[in-house]
Structure 1
Amino acid sequence: QSHIQQLISLYTMVQNPNMTHLKINELVVLPPLWIRCDGSDPEHTYWLGAEPLKAGNKITGISFHMVKCDADKTCFVNLEELKTAHKVKHHSSIVTTKGFAQYELISAAAMDDTTLGSESNISIDITWHTVDKILQAPPLCSAAMLNIMMESGDPRSPVYPLYRELQFLLALAEGLKTGVTEWPEPLETQPAFELVQEFLLDLKKKLDGWCSSGNKNETEVYSIKSDTAAVDSSIKSIFSERGDLDFVEQLWCKMRSVCSYQELVECLTLVIKFLEHGEIQPWIHQGSSSLLSKLVQQSYHGKVEAVSLSGITPIQMLLEIGLDKMKKDYVSFFIGQELTTLTYLDYFVSTSVDLQEQVHRVQKLHHMLEIMVSCTVFLQFKHENLFPLTQTCLKYYKENPLNEKQVFQLPIRPALVKKFYQNDHPEIWKVDITSGHGQKEVKTTWQVSAKPPVEHMPSNNIGLFCDSTVNGSSEERMYFVAMAECSQVHFT
């Protein structure tokens, strides 16, 4: 401890313009000094800091900081005692207080006593002025910021089937890049070749039926559209399969269960054979740029070019139709929910970049979808909150690579999510007691947190146990109390 004090004294002295006997020709403003302590002193100090106070280029003094963890496990401090101690220490008569509380919303909002993915976290930071008491519940007029870090791939998510579809797409993209495809677990139990064969034969029968009875086919089409509308209006899932899948998109749905290169070649060979012989006349969306879509268009004129199904060509063909289909899925969601416009999505669905970059951008779309769906399902957010959050995500992902650790923020009213935290203990609660202005402002901070406030603090000797109720079940949680104080020395 004495060595630390000597170091801080030296740091202060070499910046003090009054120390003329040191014969320092030119005073240099040093960067802030922070010293990590082991907490072995009576006050359990874990950090000591010093930083210069400046007026322009002139050093006017030094501000000292101390961060310590209270070893008293019996009770919390009294707010009035804290304010009094601050006034005495800093010779001030007027103090202001500012509160901060952070709550995790996932545990309270998740269904069936479960939480989202291991890395997922939705929390809220709430700040307010004029604190009444220690651990005061934040007033509803407080300022609040929602923090969202969402990991894709939770099996409980309504979009998990789409996530698995994306994983198949990623496996194809990796295979195209490395030449070795790691086929994921099939999404269907029935072999992909059988699914494709049944699909093609069914289309052939419908074509034959159309030739003999147009009215019958019209009835079938009406029935299919009605069923689709019923699915779209269902409240069971926020994200349902689109009802306007064209031929190649439906083919992708059958072939995403392919589990070997040989099976993929067999499937594509069969498809091309049906097209060449004119046994099917499928429709496709305008603007499809995949090789298979071009073959379908050629089949309308009775001439399909020969394609060598060897090397990486089959992988690329499947990847192309998968990309086309999944892009339309995401666009359908964001446009259908009126969260953005096609112009804003142009970057994410562009075909002017290579296939690997297209896949990367589709991953970004999926991550944004996971965030929106989680906020809708778990927090019951409406359009007025989802829309600005979408804009934040779109802006970030136009400028940055995929990052599922990114914390997206959204300013909200505490009342919007109060029901998710009102019966829970905060993860962090702190109060700042401040006096003075400008360079002479001094602050005392008292904090209680569910995690150790400093990384190097042992968790076995300074903690408060507290009963916490989450989803109706009680559990004992450890909390840590810390206090940060400051003082100043002025040279003039």
Structure 2
Amino acid sequence: MGSKIVSDANAFVKFLKLCQDENKENCTYMDDISVLLVKKEELLHDIITGNEPMFVCEKAQPKYEPEVTETTADSSAVEDTLFKVEQDPGPEPLSVMKARQLLSWYTMAHNPNMPLVEAPRSLHPLWVRCDKSDPCATAWLGVEAVYSGNKTSGVKLYTVSCKGSPTADETSFTTLDELKQEHEKRHHASTVATKGYAQYNLFCSLKEESMMFESQSSVIASLTWNNVEKVLECPPLSSKASLNIKVAVGDIRSPLYQTHREMEFLLALAEGLRTGETEWLEPVETQSAVDLTRSLIEELENVAQGVPGHATKASEKQKAKTDGTAAFTSMVIERGDLDFTEQLWEKMRKSVTSYQDITECLKIVVKAVKLGKIKPWIHKDSNSTLSKMIVQSYQQQIDAIPLTGLTPANMLLELGLDKIRKDFINYLVGKELTTLNYLSYYLDTEVDLQEQVIRVRKLHHLLEILGTCSTFLSLPHDRLFLFTQSCLQYYKSSDYNEDHVFQLQIKPALISYFYEKEQPFSWAMEVSSGQGSKEVKTALYLSDKPLVDHICFDLDIPLDVSVNGESEKMSYYRTMVSCSLISFT
């Protein structure tokens, strides 16, 4: 029996070492055990920390072979077979007894007192999915080696258990004293430390207000603190806090919704130029693009000819527009100093429905400029082809512009990029959130138009995030400044990604108004003793979603859906994590 155990341990450890050395992400051991090499902590959620690679063992999935039949008359039988082949049953656990056997082989291989088992130099931690078949309802078992210098001094064994269905009954939760007793019984520690963790969805605090974002956006406050006093206690103001912010653009209640609509047209135009197929947006204006352009030219002609009332009318119209924007939102992006090309962009983006519209509008403008009917004011740093032509007209030296093919559409895209960039500069620099030097990457006009669009889109996403932080969270300027630099730095080297979670360290006092009246969707307390590699912990996790994804609960909802609807009290899944240190010396 002893030799059999030793040979089994050697075979299993050699297999793990081979998977690790060859970086195989999914292998099958003895036909019935899948061994996954996981590089992130996604499978164990918040139960473990860090991104160290680890092995995960689970039951190997059976392979269904389609049955060959002589006739295809019975289509339902064929559909059933295809369903079996295509359906993903999800991860399946091993028995607790089998999991303990795998952990014992791993432990034997690391024990220097067992020379018959070949010791690996170093192996990733091993975690095994379990079926809760023991009295403790064990859902995971894990083991990792502990080192003293270059030598293995022991292993840490982890047990993750989850009993019962989610409940809002706080009397059923493990108390702090019970958690301490469990830890002291296991480790005989004379002194212990306690630590608390809590996460709040801050958008939940705005259920009755108009400023409420869709579920695609989230602001999660994560807090940690020492010296826990009771289960589900509110984090003290001495906690360490961070905001995890994810914002999806396009929410109609966002302070930047109108900017989003403008970006929508810009992106549609750029995509059409890139692919050759343009999906035009529904026009906002009732007048045609050509009529609106003619009206703009006529207005400028009247101003140039000194027709009474026109200059005042245009100025008041622009001021009313700006004041209206200021009344609508506390985050004003639009400017009151739009030059001619920017006003032209505004009219065309709201009315253009074809490339023909663009061409006809620009022909009207170019003709008026060439004939000297208008000499409109242009921002000195404007970079578009049309702006340069207008500036040339001041000296009666105009280069010919062939308004054929895709040239007009590219010219309109240039107008939009110029205008939107100035909008964003006006806000970011005007609010002293950054400098032109820090924005140089995003404002570079030497790269091609498609790349310019990508960079402006990144700036728009940044502005959406700042809109959340300033109008919803009312964060102070010093926090917004640091956060802006962090986001700008991120997007210099990363692709556009609305799913990215931006993190901001913050003082709890700045957000306590939001979380003090909310229930956490995740809360945990941890009792620990020992230091360094000899530190051991016992923890209780309460969460609105299960932390274990391979077991079933008595619920008629998916595992990735919260159990809480509109009820006043939060219901929690309960997960217990314990750790044991086995010393080899």
Q: Same fold (TM over 0.5)?
A: yes
User: Contact (CA 8 Å) 2:179, 2:539: kept in 1 or not?
Assistant: no
Q: Check whether the contact 2:421–2:443 (CA below 8 A) recurs between aligned residues.
A: yes
Q: 1:323 aligns with which of 417, 424, 430?
A: 417
* 2:401 aligned partner: 307
Counterpart of 1:414 in structure 2: which amino acid?
Answer: P
Match of 2:373 among 279, 298, 301: 279
**Structure 1 vs Structure 2 CA RMSD:** 2.5
AA aligned to 2:529 is S
1:453–1:145 Cα change, 3 Å: same
Contact 2:99 2:129 in 1 (8 A): no
The answer to whether the 8 Å contact 2:196/2:524 transfers is: yes
Amino acid in the other structure paired with 2:507: R
Q: 1:385 Cα deviation (Å)?
A: 2.2
Q: How far apart, in 1, do the equivalents of 2:210 and 2:231 lie?
A: 30
Structure 2 CA distance for partners of 1:259 and 1:6, relative to 1, 3 Å: same
Q: Which amino acid aligns with 1:103?
A: Y
Which of 284, 298, 306 lines up with 2:392 in the alignment? 298
Moved more, 327-336 or 447-456: 447-456
Aligned partner of 1:55 in structure 2 is: 148
Corresponding residue to 2:331 among 214, 228, 238 = 238
Provide the residue aligned with 2:139 in structure 1: 46
CA displacement at 1:300 relative to structure 2? 2.0
Please list the CA deviations of residues 27-70 of structure 1 after superposition, one character each: whole Å capped at 9, or x if unmatched.
43221111112334332222110111111221111110011112
Deviations 1:373-424 (A, max 9, x none): 1112211223132111111111111221211111111111112111212121
Alignment-mate amino acid for residue 358 of structure 2: L
Question: Which residue of 79, 100, 103 maps to 1:5?
Answer: 100
Equivalent position of 2:248 in the other structure? 151
2:512 counterpart letter in structure 1: K
Letter in 2 for 1:402: Y
Aligned-pair identity (%): 47
Whole-angstrom distance in 1 between the partners of 2:117 and 2:502: 52
Residue 197 of structure 2 contacts residue 525 of structure 2 at CA under 8 Å; is this kept in 1? Answer: yes
Q: Structure 1 residue 310: deviation in Å?
A: 1.9
Q: Is the 2:266–2:416 contact (alpha carbons within 8 Å) kept by the matching residues of 1?
A: yes
Q: 1:164 to 1:59 in 2, by over 3 A?
A: same
Q: Distance in 2 between matches of 1:150 and 1:375?
A: 10
- Whether the 8 Å contact between 1:52 and 1:63 is mirrored in structure 2 is yes
Mapped contact 1:33–1:51 kept (Cα < 8 A): yes
For 1:479, give the aligned amino acid.
Y
Q: Which range moved further: 224-233 or 270-279?
A: 224-233
Are the structure 2 counterparts of residues 263 and 462 from structure 1 closer, same or farther at C-alpha, using a change threshold of 3 Å?
Answer: closer
Q: Give per-residue Cα distances to partners, 1:278-306, cap 9 Å, x unaligned.
A: 11110111122211112212222334333
Q: Does the Cα contact within 8 Å between 2:154 and 2:581 map onto a contact in 1?
A: yes
Q: Deviations along 1:429-449, whole A, 9 cap, x unmatched? A: 101100112222110010101
Do structure 1's residue 389 and structure 2's residue 483 form an aligned pair? yes
Contact 2:211 2:253 survives alignment (8 Å): no
Q: Is the 8 A contact 2:212 2:253 kept in 1?
A: no
Partner of 1:37: 130
C-alpha distance 161-224 of structure 1, shift in aligned 2 (>3 A): closer
Q: How far apart are residue 232 of structure 1 and its match? A: 7.5
Match for 1:14 among 102, 109, 112?
109
Query: How much does 1:117 deviate?
Result: 2.8
2:209 maps to 1:112:
yes
Matches within 5 A, 1:53-202: 53-71=146-164, 75-109=172-206, 112=209, 115-202=212-299
**Alpha-carbon distance in structure 1 between the residues aligned to 2:216 and 2:312:** 49
Partner SS, residue 439 of structure 2:
helix
Q: Separation in 1 of the partners of 2:440 and 2:120?
A: 56
- 2:537 is aligned with 1:406: no
Match of 1:254 in 2: 347
Return the alpha-carbon distance in structure 2 between the equivalents of residues 96 and 237 of structure 1: 46
SS at match of 1:147: strand
Query: Which among 345, 355, 362 is matched to residue 456 of structure 2?
Result: 362
Q: Is the 8 A contact 2:434 2:481 kept in 1?
A: yes
Question: Which whole-Å CA distance do the structure 2 matches of 1:27 and 1:78 have between them?
Answer: 41
Output the amino acid matched with 1:272: V
Q: Residue 343 of structure 2 aligns to a residue in which SS? A: helix
Q: Aligned pair count? A: 481
Structure 1 stretch displaced more, 408-417 or 301-310: 301-310
What SS does the corresponding residue of 2:143 show, helix, strand or coil? strand
1:202-248 deviation per Cα after TM superposition (whole angstroms, max 9, x unaligned): 111111117xx7xx777667756865775586474421520111110
Asked if the contact 1:467/1:476 (under 8 Å) is kept, the reply is: no
Offset at residue 142 of structure 1 (A): 1.1
Counterpart in 1 of 2:533? 439
Relative contact order, CA 8 A, sep 6+: which one is greater?
1
Q: Is the 8 A contact 1:467 1:474 kept in 2?
A: no
Counterpart contact for 2:158–2:578, Cα < 8 Å: yes
Describe the shift of the 1:12–1:147 C-alpha distance in structure 2 as closer, same or farther (beyond 3 A): same
TM-score, with normalisation over the residues of structure 1?
Answer: 0.92
Identify the residue that residue 60 of structure 2 maps to in structure 1.
none
Query: For each residue in 1:311-342, what CA deviation from the matched residue of structure 2 results, as whole angstroms up to 9, or x when unmatched?
Result: 11111000001000000011111112111111
Structure 2: 5+ residue runs without aligned partners? 1-95
Give the aligned residue type for 1:11. Answer: Y
| Aligned partner of residue 389 in structure 1, secondary structure | helix
Please state how far the C-alpha of 1:112 moved relative to its aligned partner. 2.7
Unaligned runs of 5+ in 1: none
SS in 2 for 1:132: coil
Query: Cα gap change, 1:462/1:228 in structure 2, threshold over 3 Å: closer, same or farther?
Result: closer
TM superposition score normalised by structure 2: 0.78
Preserved contact between residue 231 and residue 240 of structure 1 (Cα < 8 Å): no
Q: Which amino acid aligns with 1:16?
A: N
Separation (CA, whole Å) in 1 of partners of 2:489 and 2:223: 25
Work out the CA distance in 2 between the residues paired with 1:111 and 1:377.
16
